[in-house]
Amino acid sequence: MTLTTATPTAPALQLPPATELKSEILRLKREKDAVLLAHYYQDSEIQDLADHLGDSLQLAQAAKKATQKVICFCGVHFMAETAKILNPDKTVIVPDMNAGCSLADACPPEQLAAWKAKHPEYKVVAYINCSAGVKALCDIICTSSNAERVVRSFPAETPILFVPDRNLGGYLMKKLNRPMKLWQGTCIVHETFSERKIVDLKVAHPEAEFIAHPECEPTVLRHADFIGSTSALLGYVAKSPKQAFIVGTETGILHQMKKAAPSKTFIAGPFEGEEKCACNQCPHMKLNTLEKLWLCLKTLKPTLEMSPELIEKARIPLERMLALG
């Protein structure tokens, strides 16, 4: 199989034989002085090659600590941007630069700027699943791991605009008993879980606990026995005395759940519609493949480029979050 680089004029490169692909990736990683960061929603074979595997917060923390010259980010665009903001002098590459995010797409910076202008007295808390342009406009970033702590860091009387995830925002409002104005973005994966089918599964598996990511709709979250970020869900299944779990998040996490608790049973959360639909897989995350990973390490492309001005503005709210822990 041949793959072309991002430059149309560059010669096609010959992929190593399938049996050597993984060892070649590991060799290139050393040769190019690259660290490989991967999110839990990546394909299992990419997860197994990563130097650091984690949720959005853990990966941002790993990026900040990176000592290598190159950061190869197996995740989506906003995650790689975060790594670049924290490491302006490093080369940041992504196997497929088209790996976007419906939440980031839902909140264009110009629209947020207009909303902010209408509410000048409000502080803006942005979920990390947003573009650098949005980060540059907000007061602080949060992830699903630290969102409660971040919102609590503002005095109760401080009014907050929460962007771009209305489901995480709504979950926080309820949990913290705190009103916020919410941007109406959603994750295309988590919004598709079916309440009716989750209830059917719970009836069919009364021994199982239903665990869910806070990006799910409130109609689904109300049936959850535990709600948390990907790393919190992973920690929960490892510690819980229960033996079976219905998992309401992207299926990539099941790989680590099975490793952490090999004797337990994991049932992927279901959707309405076609039996064979793969709606519980993020189409953006799954754009990254082993072949593209090899190619991007080989060529150090595609490279993520950002203006120094944007990096500087977006760095401030990110550093505020990292300082909170």
Residues that bind ligand SF4 (CB under 6 A): 41, 76, 101-103, 129, 187-189, 215, 250, 282, 284-285
CB 113 to ligand SF4: min, Å:
22
Chosen from ligand 13P, ligand SF4, none, partner binding at 96 (C-beta under 5 to 8 Å by type): none
Chosen from ligand SF4, ligand 13P, none, partner binding at 146 (C-beta under 5 to 8 Å by type): none
Chosen from ligand SF4, ligand 13P, none, partner binding at 102 (C-beta under 5 to 8 Å by type): ligand SF4
Q: CB nearer to ligand 13P: give 66 or 79.
A: 79
Chosen from ligand 13P, ligand SF4, none, partner binding at 316 (C-beta under 5 to 8 Å by type): none
CB 101 to ligand SF4: min, Å:
3
Q: CB nearer to ligand 13P: give 28 or 46.
A: 46
CB 135 to ligand 13P: min, Å:
15
Q: CB nearer to ligand 13P: give 209 or 215.
A: 215
Q: CB nearer to ligand SF4: give 28 or 150.
A: 150
Per the DSSP assignment, residues forming a β-bridge with 154 are none
Chosen from ligand 13P, ligand SF4, none, partner binding at 188 (C-beta under 5 to 8 Å by type): ligand SF4
CB 76 to ligand SF4: min, Å:
5
Q: CB nearer to ligand SF4: give 79 or 293.
A: 79
Q: CB nearer to ligand SF4: give 16 or 214.
A: 214
Q: CB nearer to ligand 13P: give 141 or 173.
A: 141
Question: Interface with ligand 13P by CB under 6 A: which residues?
Answer: 40, 55-56, 129, 143-145, 187, 213, 215, 229-230
Contact between 256 and 11 under an 8 Å Cβ cutoff? The reply is no
| Phi/psi-derived region of residue 138, left when phi > 0, alpha when psi is between -120 and 50, beta in every other case | beta
Chosen from ligand SF4, ligand 13P, none, partner binding at 53 (C-beta under 5 to 8 Å by type): none
The whole-angstrom separation of Cα 207 and Cα 244 is 7
Contact between 191 and 271 under an 8 Å Cβ cutoff? The reply is no
Chosen from ligand SF4, ligand 13P, none, partner binding at 143 (C-beta under 5 to 8 Å by type): ligand 13P
Select from 199, 254, 246 the least CA-distant residue to 230.
254
